[in-house]
């Protein structure tokens, strides 16, 4: 079996039995539609990344495959179909995701899916397809999927999951029932995150992840990324304090994800802006760094200038003419802010 159409969902989500609390209303609506026997043949779960849409899709898939779901719509976990699903080899189920290390879903994956859809069902439940990152299908893949959406086989549900609805062709969108998936409010997200076993402070992880709880959880497990971020904070501090030159530091970050670097910096600025009002809990190294940024910036004007200049750079990350120069100009903004009063 090729990697592109592996039946293995994300291991962390394969055991999930219920949707997240913030998705309850979406779940209830779909359940009512299903009970009325009006379930559409294609659903498009759209919403922000890191909020559990794909998990929702997996829970829904399990429930649709189940031969005797519970009254609240969840898979029983005991019928033959549920047991086969647990073995990750369910003949009525197909998962398509981004191939490892790739940015697009290739047409090959969708063709395999079309072939799967003409087979007859093996169990009493629905036949289910989950396409995660559906907004990353290339044009040929989208076109290939269209036919299945136009002439769906009976008792089949295709669940598309997408972060960016606008990226999907209108021809695809118009053939699906769009379900708007919510981002939880901060309190709900924090409550959920505090129940997980995190290595770092939940509040810090949530703020790092822009209030997206699932993203916060995966960041917490990503030690390499966290230590990268700490190193970048130290390097920016070294530039602020004129201990290291912009050119030297820029070379260290030549290969880094530019969007990510800018997101970190913008978040630091937000955090500094918030710092006077709220004492934020979190990583001490980072807080020391934030305090230093706060004390180094001479005026509110230069603070917001740094912010708007970084935002401007962020709008250009997709088309940097020269990566090294881009990073240098980014670090220069900090160097300018950190310059002692006398030399300004
Ligand atoms: Zn079952």
Q: From 183, 210, 234, give the residue that closes a domain.
A: 183
- Strands of the sheet containing 177-180, edge to edge, are 93-96, 127-131, 156-162, 42-46, 177-180
- Give me ligand 1 centre to Cα 77, in Å: 5
CATH number of the domain at 273, please.
Answer: 1.20.272
**333 assigned to some structural domain:** yes
Distance 127 CA to ligand 1 centre (A): 14
Entry field: residues in the chain:
344
329, 247 in Cβ contact below 8 A? no
- Record the pTM: 0.74
Question: How many A from CA of 70 to the centre of ligand 1?
Answer: 8
Same domain, 16 and 101: yes
Q: Are residues 149 and 52 part of one domain?
A: yes
In degrees, rounded to 5, the angle at the alpha carbon of residue 133 between the alpha carbons of residues 168 and 12 is: 160
Sign of the Cα torsion 323, 324, 327, 329 reads negative
Q: Are residues 173 and 227 in the same domain?
A: no
Residue 208 within a domain:
no
Count up the domains in the chain and report the number. 2
Residue whose entry in the numeric block shows the structure tokens 């802010």: 337
In a domain, 133, yes or no: yes
State which of 152, 183, 214 marks the end of a domain: 183
Q: What is the pLDDT of residue 285?
A: 53
Tell me: do 28 and 116 sit in the same domain: yes
Same domain, 54 and 136: yes
68: CA distance to ligand 1 center in Å?
5
Residues 227, 179 share a domain: no
Cα 311 to averaged position of ligand 1 atoms, centre (Å): 50
pLDDT in tens, 31-63: 999 999 999 999 999 999 999 999 999 999 999
Are residues 338 and 270 both part of a single domain? yes
Do 115 and 233 lie in one domain? The reply is no
Residues 121 and 269 in one domain: no
Q: Is residue 213 part of a domain?
A: no
Query: How far does residue 62's CA lie from ligand 1's centre (Å)?
Result: 8
State whether the Cα torsion 253-213-27-75 is positive or negative: positive
Q: Using the mean position of ligand 1's atoms as its centre, give its distance from the Cα of residue 91 in Å.
A: 15
How far is ligand 1, taken at its centre, from the CA of residue 159, in Å? 19
State in Å: Cα 14 to ligand 1 middle: 15
Q: Separation of 80 CA from ligand 1 center, angstroms?
A: 7
Distance 124 CA to ligand 1 centre (A): 10
Q: Which residue intervals of the chain are DSSP H helices?
A: 24-35, 53-65, 80-86, 107-117, 139-150, 170-173, 186-194, 202-208, 213-221, 223-240, 246-252, 258-275, 284-296, 300-314, 323-338
Residue 122 main-chain phi, psi, to 5 deg: -100, -25
Q: How many CB atoms lie within 10 A of CB 298?
A: 14
Together in a domain, 77 and 169 = yes
DSSP 70-130: -TTS---S-SHHHHHHHTT--TTEEEE-PPTT-SSB-HHHHHHHHHHHTSPPSSSS-EEEE
Residue 273 and residue 329 share a domain: yes
Measure 183 CA to ligand 1 centroid, in angstroms.
Answer: 29
Q: Which residue range(s) make up the domain with 313?
A: 222-343
- Pairwise CA distance, residues 254 & 329, whole Å: 12
Looking at the fold, whether 115 and 259 belong to one and the same domain comes out as no
Question: Is residue 86 assigned to a domain?
Answer: yes
- What confidence score (pLDDT) does residue 263 get? 87
Question: 214 in a domain, yes or no?
Answer: no
Q: Which residue has the tokens 């230069």?
A: 302
Residue 203 lies in a domain: no
- Tell whether 206 is covered by a domain: no
Low-confidence ranges of the chain (pLDDT < 70): 1-15, 276-286, 298, 320, 339-344
CATH of the domain at 102: 3.40.50.300
């Amino acid at each position: 079996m090729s990697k592109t159409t592996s039946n293995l969902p994300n291991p962390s989500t394969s055991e999930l039995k219920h949707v997240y609390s913030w998705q309850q209303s979406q779940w209830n609506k779909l359940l009512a539609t299903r009970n009325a026997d009006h379930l559409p043949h294609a659903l498009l779960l759209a919403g922000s990344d890191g909020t559990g849409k794909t998990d929702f899709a997996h829970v829904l898939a399990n429930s649709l495959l189940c031969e005797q779901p519970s009254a609240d719509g969840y898979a029983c976990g005991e019928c033959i179909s549920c047991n086969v699903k647990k073995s990750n080899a369910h003949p009525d189920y197909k998962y398509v995701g981004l191939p490892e290390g790739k940015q697009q879903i290739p047409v090959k994956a969708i063709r395999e899916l079309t072939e799967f859809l003409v087979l007859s069902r093996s169990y009493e439940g629905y036949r289910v397809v989950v396409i995660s990152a559906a907004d990353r299908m290339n044009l040929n893949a989208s076109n290939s999927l269209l036919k299945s959406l136009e002439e769906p086989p009976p008792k089949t549900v295709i669940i598309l999951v997408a972060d960016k609805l606008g990226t999907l062709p209108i021809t695809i969108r118009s053939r699906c029932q769009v379900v708007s998936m919510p981002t939880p409010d901060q309190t709900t997200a924090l409550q959920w995150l505090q129940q997980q076993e995190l290595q770092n402070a939940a509040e810090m992880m949530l703020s790092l992840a822009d209030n997206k709880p699932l993203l916060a959880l995966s960041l917490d497990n990503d030690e390499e990324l966290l230590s990268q971020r700490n190193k970048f904070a130290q390097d920016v501090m070294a530039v602020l304090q004129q201990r290291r030159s912009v050119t030297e530091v820029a070379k260290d970050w030549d290969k880094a994800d530019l969007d990510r670097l800018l997101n970190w910096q913008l978040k630091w600025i937000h955090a500094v802006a918030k710092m006077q009002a709220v004492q934020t809990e979190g990583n001490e190294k980072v807080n020391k760094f934030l305090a230093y940024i706060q004390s180094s910036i001479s005026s509110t004007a230069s603070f917001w200038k740094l912010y708007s200049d970084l935002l401007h750079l962020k709008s250009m990350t997709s088309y940097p003419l020269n990566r090294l120069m881009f990073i240098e100009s980014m670090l220069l903004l900090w160097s300018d802010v950190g310059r002692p009063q006398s030399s300004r």
